[in-house]
DNA sequence: CATCAGATTTGGAACGTTCCATTTATAGGT
DNA sequence: ACCTATAAATGGAACGTTCCAAATCTGATG
């Protein structure tokens, strides 16, 4: 309640008639202080409106409780959910997070990382922007600060990662579509310069191969990994001589765009053309038609990534690379019957 | 590149043959130091791999460059975009942000706010959780830390706010629907315990009144402010004796749910029943049918809120309350013709 | 050559905590 | 009464910076 000058541990000590060291011990819940003084000190702390200065504390102990989280695109609900998953774990482990959005801008990302370093983070989780140079993390690694990549991945020494099994996911999609009788399947969306695209396309090819189907080059159609990208791409695709009967989209956002584009061309997704996504964002369950997709549980991935980081903060940082399994969620958009769909949705 | 012990300003001083004070001056770009020494010191800084310790710095200056941002729900793209808008401004003003997600949990919110206080934030922007007690911010206010509410609003002394003109928005929607000949208009979604609901419903009533239309109580239908909420609500609404010809939804998410629900009942949104939203989230432009909605530009709101906060950090914090104007964006979902729609979309 | 103004540079003393080595108090045993 | 072991409390020093007042350096001036 004091005016300008902040209340410090010394003020508390004076008011409680003990030394500042004792106050410090109370603050960190040490068992070395007697019950009586603990109570007295705590009451003074409350009545003076003291607020702990963590900056000063970890200047001395040089170990902070701040975790940096850098996300390429928070407006993409996949990454937003992942960030929330991280937040849950980080927060309940008694840490607090610096969260920054880079918007795929490398300079921004570099700036953000070094500012975080200057603030003394205990660890860093990054979903890196396109074209990220692993050297950007070297200063952190040199300082013994663990770094974990999530969702996306850049390889470098002493860097950990947690990504989902992109290839397996697309192979599952293709297997399912082939099982439903589709032979003409297109792959739409994504930018060839990122690892995820290569992995998913690889899975697509593997799935086609296993099903004994040929991949038509003009049906592998890169596009912006957004709703708009999907919508545009499908326009071009429908203009081609022979039309695919099924479209495996790079992710859910693209898949929604593909549905928009099909409707705009008078085709009903799910009935006239099968459409599948990847990510299983929340909306996937509730759009019409509900989207068949690969569930990668961004929230869970965020949690796992945070747990991985916390593990590394404690011990000597031995880098780990985790690939999380994915799961096919069948809904109406791939042409599965309504009844079937409803059941699957509930299980999702 | 040194081993464990961090490189400090003293190491730099020694290596460059100057005093630590001089190094400090170089660090903060002071004009008092000669060009020659500046260059020498800078080169030593680079070669030793020095990293500035902001914690130590603002222990001394007791003014930090950290801004706290607390958001009720990051997975809602409206708030996510708003957070990104804040990030842009905060970042380019040379600040860094603590960003936390409360998930509408009051305890979490309280915990997060006090941790941020302990870390010494320069200011705080909050999109408060339901039922937030303004007293929770008293310690910050007492410490002279400016607090700005964004999107949602809790009134209290010395607290600023920036909200959009919810009432005007819904009144505009109703005026437009009435102008298109609709007389039976329902209001769907939102929880009555938050200020936004009251404001929007108030605007709805005002609009109906001005158009000389009656509000039917059974057509004011609160529901969870989510896609799922909208979908459920519309089911109940369609079961009623007389059906509305237009549905003004609480927000875009609800509107999408309403569209889903209509389709599930065999009705085509935009053709059979007019649907409108509120927020103008990115997807609103690209869904089919494109959604008529109120544009509140979350990104811009985030930016404005951040600017408001920065203004207050500089000067004596005189609380401000800003109501940002909103704009009607007419698209296909309210039954406007396709041609018209396309033009409007571009202007949006 | 002494003086002075301006430009540079510099030693400490802070900032608010933690930690270590000591001191002081308490109680139990002979 | 004395010693000892344990419990509780305490005074600095340290963490890495900034800031102030004071010191030093540079030429130019008379």
Q: Which domains does chain A have, with CATH numbers?
A: 9-52 (1.10.260.40), 65-163+298-324 (3.40.50.2300), 166-297+328-347 (3.40.50.2300)
Q: What is the mean pLDDT of residues A142-161?
A: 94
If you average pLDDT over residues A138-167, what whole number do you get? 94
From residue A115, give the alpha-carbon distance in Å to each of A110, B50, B169, B171: 9, 13, 40, 46
Gap from A332 CA to chain B (nearest CA, Å): 12
pLDDT digits (tens, 9 = 90+) for B212-240: 999 999 999 999 998 889 999 999 999 88
Per-residue model confidence (pLDDT) at position A338: 40
- Chain D nucleotides close to protein (CB under 7 A) are 7-12, 14-20
Q: How confident is the model at residue B335 (pLDDT cuts 50, 70, 90)?
A: confident
Q: What is the pLDDT of residue A317?
A: 67
**Residue B317: per-residue pLDDT:** 67
Q: Which residues of B touch A77 (CB under 8 A)?
A: 75, 77, 80
Q: How far is the CA of A44 from the C1' of C27 (A)?
A: 30
Q: What is the pLDDT of residue B338?
A: 40
The mean pLDDT value for A181-195 works out to 92
Taking only Cα atoms into account, the Rg of chain B, rounded to an integer number of angstroms, comes to: 26
A101-115, A254-268, A299-313, B330-344: segment of lowest average pLDDT: B330-344
pLDDT of A185 > 50? The answer is: yes
- Is residue B189 within 8 A of residue B254, CB to CB? The reply is yes
What was the pLDDT predicted at B315?
78
pLDDT tens-digit readout, B203-213: 999 999 999 99
- Which tens digit of pLDDT belongs to each residue from A69-113? 999 999 888 899 999 999 999 999 999 999 999 999 999 999 999
**R_g of chain A computed on alpha carbons:** 26
The pLDDT assigned to B4 comes to 55
Q: Residue A253's closest chain B neighbor by CA?
A: B283
Q: In chain B, what percentage of residues exceed pLDDT 70?
A: 95
Q: Percent helix, strand, coil in chain B (nearest 5)?
A: 50, 15, 35
Highest mean pLDDT among A64-78, A200-214, A323-337: A200-214
pLDDT of residue A270: 94
Distance CA B155, CA B139 (A): 16
Q: How far apart are CA A188 and CA A24, in angstroms?
A: 60
Which of B58, B74, B257 faces A80 most closely, judged by CB atoms?
Answer: B74
pLDDT of residue B167: 97
* More reliable by pLDDT, A335 or A186: A186
Q: Which of A101, A119, A97, A99 is nearest to A109 (CA)?
A: A101
Would you state the pLDDT for residue A287? 81
Given a cut of 50, whether residue A343 has pLDDT beyond it is: no
CA of A16 to C1' of D7 (A): 20
* Residue with the larger pLDDT of the pair B62 and A111: A111
Task: State yes or no: pLDDT of A19 exceeds 80.
Answer: yes
A98 to B97: CB separation less than 8 angstroms, yes or no: yes
């Amino acid at each position: 309640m004091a005016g300008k000058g902040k209340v410090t541990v010394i003020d508390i000590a004076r008011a409680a008639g003990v030394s500042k060291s004792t106050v410090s011990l109370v603050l960190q819940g040490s068992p070395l202080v007697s019950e009586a003084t603990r109570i007295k000190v705590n009451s003074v702390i409350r009545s003076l409106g003291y607020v702990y200065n963590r900056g000063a504390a970890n200047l001395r102990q040089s170990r902070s409780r701040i975790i940096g989280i850098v996300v390429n695109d928070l407006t993409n609900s996949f990454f937003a959910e992942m960030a929330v998953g991280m937040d849950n774990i980080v927060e309940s482990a008694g840490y607090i997070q610096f969260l920054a959005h880079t918007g795929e801008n490398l300079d921004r990302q570099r700036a953000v990382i070094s500012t975080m370093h200057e603030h003394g983070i205990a660890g860093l989780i990054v979903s890196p922007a396109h074209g990220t140079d692993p050297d950007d993390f070297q200063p952190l690694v040199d300082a013994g600060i663990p770094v974990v990549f999530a969702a996306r991945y850049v390889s470098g020494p002493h860097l950990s990662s947690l990504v989902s099994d992109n290839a397996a996911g697309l192979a599952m999609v293709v297997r399912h579509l082939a099982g439903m009788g589709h032979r003409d399947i297109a792959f739409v969306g994504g930018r060839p310069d990122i690892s995820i695209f290569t992995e998913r396309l690889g899975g697509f090819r593997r799935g086609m191969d296993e099903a004994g189907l040929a991949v038509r080059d003009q049906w592998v159609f890169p596009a912006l990994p957004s709703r708009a990208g999907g919508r545009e791409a499908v326009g071009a695709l429908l203009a081609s001589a022979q039309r695919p009967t099924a479209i495996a989209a790079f992710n859910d956002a693209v898949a929604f765009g593909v549905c928009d584009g099909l409707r705009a061309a008078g085709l009903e997704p799910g009935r006239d053309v099968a459409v599948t996504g990847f990510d299983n964002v929340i909306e996937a369950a509730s759009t019409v038609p509900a989207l068949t997709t690969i569930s990668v549980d961004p929230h869970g991935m965020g949690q796992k990534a945070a747990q991985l980081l916390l593990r590394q903060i404690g011990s000597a940082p031995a880098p780990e690379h985790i690939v999380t399994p994915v799961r096919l969620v069948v809904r109406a958009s791939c042409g599965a019957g309504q009844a079937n769909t409803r059941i699957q949705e509930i299980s999702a």
